[in-house]
Chain A
Amino acid sequence: DVKVTQSSRYLVKRTGEKVFLECVQDMDHENMFWYRQDPGLGLRLIYFSYDVKMKEKGDIPEGYSVSREKKERFSLILESASTNQTSMYLCASSLTQSTGELFFGEGSRLTVL
């Protein structure tokens, strides 16, 4: 089974702090994604990556950056956290680029005070 692991399930940070959310997948997938989930809004794509050291902006990249130094690891960075970034963050990976079969981690719930 594919496993996508998000290292932090719950985080509480203060406004202005730098936040790292880590995601690791163990199935040698090329593609990795970061979404945020807010009630009623569904999942919105922040950034994605189709290869090591490659990144593409999703629909809501403002206030976020990412890093993909190794194939299995995709990190989401909030340079200066703000209260409107309080959300559930979901990492996902996929084998192919032609379909939408994604494997998700359990999520990281971030609260920014």
Chain B
Amino acid sequence: GEDVEQSLFLSVREGDSSVINCTYTDSSSTYLYWYKQEPGAGLQLLTYIFSNMDMKQDQRLTVLLNKKDKHLSLRIADTQTGDSAIYFCAAVKAAGNKLTFGGGTRVLVKP
């Protein structure tokens, strides 16, 4: 089955860019997602990318997809303290929507 891997922790200074990385194993994954979980809350969808795209930009967020290496990244420009959260990468195949989540990357933004 699908396996999704992320690094556990990222520390970044306020105003810098953050880059969160994710790798997945199933090349037939059609949609790849980034979810954000703030302290004490459930997950909320940040952005997603379809597998036939290389890049998607949405305000401060840039998603890059390298299908050959099965590597996904999320770049947050001008990182703010409110960006401190756990970020989850997730992948889904075309049939049904059973998402496979990575372990989550805890991002700590230092002033």
Contact = CB atoms under 8 A, between A and B. Distances in A.
Interface of A: 4, 31, 35, 40-45, 48, 58, 90, 92, 94, 96-107
Contacts of B104: 40, 42
Interface of B: 4, 6, 8, 31, 33, 40-45, 48, 88, 90-92, 94, 96-99, 101-104
Given A100-B48, A106-B40, A43 B97 contact: no
24 contacts: A31-B97, A40-B103, A40-B104, A41-B103, A42-B101, A43-B43, A43-B88, A44-B101, A45-B98, A94-B97, A96-B97, A97-B97, A98-B97, A99-B92, A100-B91, A100-B97, A101-B48, A102-B45, A102-B99, A104-B43, A106-B40, A106-B42, A107-B41, A107-B42
Nearest to B42: A104
A41 B8 CA distance: 10
A49 B96 CA distance: 11
A113 to B, nearest CB: 22
Contacts of B41: 106-107
Contacts of A40: 8, 103-104
Given A98-B94, A99-B31, A100-B31, A43 B45 contact: no
